Structure 1
């Protein structure tokens, strides 16, 4: 009987050692030759089923999502902003509200849509892809009198004041399609430049 108790005690000690060190490999080198690293002591809540899971540190890492929580709502907001901006009957106030820092750049927006060529610009959003939860690339077709124009790549949208707006850099780039609609001074600022 004492030999059986000793074997049971040794077996229990071996099992406990395996759980505490997370060395569950039965066919390996028994830990020989592997670098020794210090590990935090196991807590009373540790169980054998936790030994094979990832440490909780990786679960609490900084989120890496590159899109808003509600993608559909965000995309609808972006599409609505582009529709308002290019609608022929939109007012300057309405257009300014859907552009990043639109109030500060209202003169440029007004000049763009008072211009004989700029006033005929129309756009249709074809797709939206998010570069972060605050920024999106917007693929769109740009036309004037039914003829397709070069967009020089995707436009952009930004989340500003809890609303998705056309990025200032996109509006700055649109002025090249007008006859007389100079860019606003803010177009020269680094934040307005194409990425």
Structure 2
């Protein structure tokens, strides 16, 4: 009898604990757990979408100016200045000049004629500045002289990147023929050049 009473008392106590626990729970995992466990997942779910790291990753779209200048502008300017120096140097051969002019091989006769001309052969130029209009083209400001007398350049000359080398633009050489006595323009001077600006 006492054993049965003990068992009944235990069963009653267990039932009371269960009733108490479920009434405190309120059906959503208990008071302690409701704010602590069910809310943080909701806020942690919104946190990643709020921080959204993807815009800052796609934001560096500054490759836009990459097309406005060569990769190494200083090296390019050095090449441009050297090409112009070679072209106007009285010690340069026609082969030297041909190599530093855009499409020089096909226009060698004009180049030879320009520098064997009594006036054209005395042309000298000094590059004063280089600015890039693209990664393949540059405007070249220069002073043009003949026997120390400054001539009208009609604006900047040009250089183009051809076969990986910066050269004096053909259109600039074509324009220089007007400063000679009998230098002719090559037929290519009247055609738009694909590498021109």
Shorter-chain TM-score above 0.5: yes
Structure 1 residues without counterparts, runs of 5 or longer: 23-47
Structure 1 segments, 4+ long, off by >6 Å, are: none
- What whole-Å deviation, never above 9, does each CA across 1:44-102 have from its counterpart, x for those lacking one? xxxx5xx2563534446855312122222111100000000000111110000000000
Q: Alpha-carbon deviation of 1:4?
A: 4.0
The alignment partner of 2:84 has SS state of: helix
The alignment partner of 1:157 has SS state of: strand
- What whole-Å deviation, never above 9, does each CA across 1:9-46 have from its counterpart, x for those lacking one? 323312322422x2xxxxxxxxxxxxxxxxxxxxxxxx
Maintained 8 Å contact 1:187/1:193:
no
Alignment of 1:162-181 (within 5 A): 162-181=164-183
Q: Distance in 2 between matches of 1:145 and 1:194?
A: 31
Q: Distance in 2 between matches of 1:4 and 1:148?
A: 92
Maintained 8 Å contact 2:137/2:161:
yes
Alignment of 1:35-184 (within 5 A): 48=51, 51=52, 54-59=55-60, 63-65=64-66, 66-184=68-186
Q: Distance in 1 between matches of 2:91 and 2:172?
A: 21
Q: Distance in 1 between matches of 2:73 and 2:159?
A: 13
Q: Which has the larger radius of gyration?
A: 2
Q: Alpha-carbon deviation of 1:134?
A: 1.3
Structure 2 residues without counterparts, runs of 5 or longer: 1-28
The alignment partner of 1:190 has SS state of: coil
Q: If each structure's helix is expressed as a fraction of its own residues, which one has the higher value? A: 2
Q: Distance in 1 between matches of 2:61 and 2:75?
A: 27
- 1:14 corresponds in structure 2 to 43
- 1:45 corresponds in structure 2 to none
Q: Distance in 2 between matches of 1:68 and 1:180?
A: 37
CA RMSD of aligned residues (A): 2.3
Q: Number of paired residues?
A: 167
Maintained 8 Å contact 1:186/1:192:
no
